[in-house]
Amino acid sequence: MRTMRTEDRSQVAVPSDAGAPPRRRTRPRDDRRSAWIFLIPALTGFVIFYGYPAVRGFWYSLTDYNLLSPPAFVGGDNYAQLVRDTQFWHSLAVTVYYVVVNIGSQMLLALLLAALMHRLTRSVMLRAMLLLPWLVPNVTVGLIWIWLLDADLGFVNHLLGALGLGTVGFFVSPDWAMPTIAMVNTWAYTGYTALLLYAGMLQIPPNLYESAAIDGAGELRMFRSVTLPMLRPVLALVLVVSLIGSFQIFDTVAVASKGSGAGSAIRVIYYFIYQQAFQYFHMGYASAAALVLALVLGVLTVVQMRLLRASRSDLA
């Protein structure tokens, strides 16, 4: 028995590559150089159209510049004047009011439309129809709604008069002008927002809805317990983009303000900057207001991303 065990040990297979030279360890492929090459066109455009204007705008914000004479350095005088400017703060308050009304109505309607498309129908024709208002230029949208809501010739006021409700100066009355502008932009952007949310809903695993249905959950309960938690990263992105876009409203206000009696009731912060720069030629002051707006948007974006935990996905 001892002899057999010795023979068995002597017959243990020796790896065939035991005498082969050691293999080289291959380095992991580094694609950073290729990535930078592909990023060069985008970075070049960013520097030319965003980086350089931002630096130039910061310089102008420290000067007294009116387009007719060379900029004169004044330091932080423009920012100090902004702090004391009641028109600036009023324009910022009007903008915040518009943002709250616009984003609130837009997100509620977009969530409703997206949920209906996701749970009831996925018609391509319906999605195309929802996108049509977003494809129309904002100036055209404003002109169409000004005509529809005109106090004398507008179809909506004729309809209200036929119902015995009287006419309403939607773009003329200081009380109605800003809610009307918010309604117009809600009509224009709700379809696009709904499609973004709908695309996020398509990423939710269907088995979660099946499990909830087996447990006896209705559509409302599934929307609250399944759809909204899973949609949180997409919802955070849409809210941030909508917030930035709403603070930058200009074209609809510019169209509605021509011949309107609303005056300062619809003077949003972008329109305030436009007036300072191109009506009063206070380019340095307008640049300072624009930089303050950019700072406000940056802070609000960071706060939103932190509160909504946008960097974490429940689908992971």
For every residue of 37-63, DSSP letters joined together read HHHHHHHHHHIIIIIHHHHHHHHHHTE
Asked if residue 32 is part of any domain, the answer here is no
Q: Residue 160: give its domain's CATH number.
A: 1.10.3720.10
Asked if residue 53 is part of any domain, the answer here is no
Q: How many domains does the chain have?
A: 1
Residue 185 above 80 pLDDT? yes
Torsion angle, CA of 256/148/193/135, rounded to 10 degrees?
Answer: -90
Residue 105 exposed, middle or buried by CB count within 10 Å (0-12, 13-18, 19+): middle
Domain ranges, residue 237: 86-307
Asked if residue 67 is part of any domain, the answer here is no
Asked if residue 99 is part of any domain, the answer here is yes
Asked if residue 316 is part of any domain, the answer here is no
pLDDT (mean) for 72-88: 94
Instruction: Give me the pLDDT at residue 303, please.
Output: 87
Q: Give the Cα-Cα-Cα angle 73, 76, 78 (nearest 5 degrees).
A: 85
Asked if residue 2 is part of any domain, the answer here is no
Instruction: Give the span between the Cα atoms of 204 and 127, in whole angstroms.
Output: 19
| Mean pLDDT score of the chain | 85
**Band (94; pLDDT cuts 50, 70, 90):** very high
Asked if residue 186 is part of any domain, the answer here is yes
pTM: 0.82
Asked if residue 230 is part of any domain, the answer here is yes
Residue 61 above 70 pLDDT? yes
User: Taking phi first (over 0 means left), then psi (-120 to 50 degrees means alpha), and beta for anything else, what does residue 65 get?
Assistant: beta
**Band (282; pLDDT cuts 50, 70, 90):** very high
